Structure 1
Amino acid sequence: MTLFRTLLLALLSLTPATVLAQEAFDPLEPRSAEGLTLDEFQWVARPIIVFADTPADPRFIEQMELLANRPDALLERDVVILFDTAPDARSDIRLALRPRGFSIVVLGKDGTVGLRRPAVRDVREIIRAIDNFQLRQEELRRGG
């Protein structure tokens, strides 16, 4: 067995199964934050998390529609879309980010908060923010 293959197998054994299973779902299909943790996405994707106190919040509905209208721009930036509209469920992601009411939070691949806003944002503003993240700048320099 080559050294490369041995190292690759060692790295894969350390990778959470949930990250490996991400290939099985559409990254831009919004997923509930319930049962997920931010660690599952670190170094793999840039989560956009949309919080609201209810799925009937007009801001939540508008934000989700805006995100659905520009999938290509988000996909090429390794975005996953998560939502949490159940404050009483106290998901791990809600506890970690502590939103109040409606909020949109964009994380970098390193897990840091790159954008946090209490109002609806269009995809153009979100991708501009992502393109200013340090890791995204490095990806662009490397041609990735």
Structure 2
Amino acid sequence: MNRRKILTLAGAGLMALAAGPAQAAPLDKYRWKRRLLLVFAPVKPHPNLVVQRQRLKEAAAGLKEREVTVIEVVQDSVFVDGKLAIEMNAKNLRKQFDTTIVEFTVLLIGKDGEQKLRRDEAVKAEDLFKTIDAMPMRQQEMRQRGQKT
């Protein structure tokens, strides 16, 4: 094999390796494992964000029981359960979920990766839990744990 062909094949292999993990959607690792609550806010002191954080803090036990991971996208930063997630890109998440940097949006994503709820204001924990508890997968989880449906 000549040198030119070897270099071409090596370059193609490196490009394929580089494209592999980088192309995987950052939320794919949660599919079938966790429900996601995405909270998009233009700025940290946004009034709806302050209210949503307080409601989620008060509902922490219910979120844990329902296997919900909270992802905040604020300005150019992404936080997963309160911790900075440098592997996630705020601009890409906004594009994926059709939001802009100037709007407040709350999205509930089921374990199947499908959008279950979308609001442009802070969501009450009761509304969130009612939506989750009506999902077939959640119904099955509750039956398996011996809880009332």
Confirm or deny a common fold (TM above 0.5).
Answer: yes
Deviation of the 1:94 alpha carbon: 2.0
Please give the alpha-carbon distance, in whole angstroms, between the structure 1 residues aligned to 2:39 and 2:90. 14
Match of 1:63 in 2: 52
- 1:73 and 2:75 aligned: no
Instruction: Give SS of 1:84's match.
Output: strand
The runs of 5 or more residues in structure 2 that have no matched partner are: 1-24, 78-88
Q: CA RMSD in A?
A: 2.0
The runs of 5 or more residues in structure 1 that have no matched partner are: 1-35
Please give the alpha-carbon distance, in whole angstroms, between the structure 1 residues aligned to 2:133 and 2:122. 19
Contact 1:87 1:94 in 2 (8 A): no
State how many pairs are aligned.
Answer: 109
Larger Rg: 2
Relative contact order, CA 8 A, sep 6+: which one is greater? Answer: 1
Please give the alpha-carbon distance, in whole angstroms, between the structure 2 residues aligned to 1:53 and 1:95. 14
Contact 2:73 2:90 in 1 (8 A): no
Deviation of the 1:134 alpha carbon: 2.2
One-letter code aligned to 1:95:
K
Contact 1:48 1:80 in 2 (8 A): yes
Match of 1:27 in 2: none
1:41-83 Cα deviation digits (max 9, x unpaired): 1111001111011112111111011101111111000011110
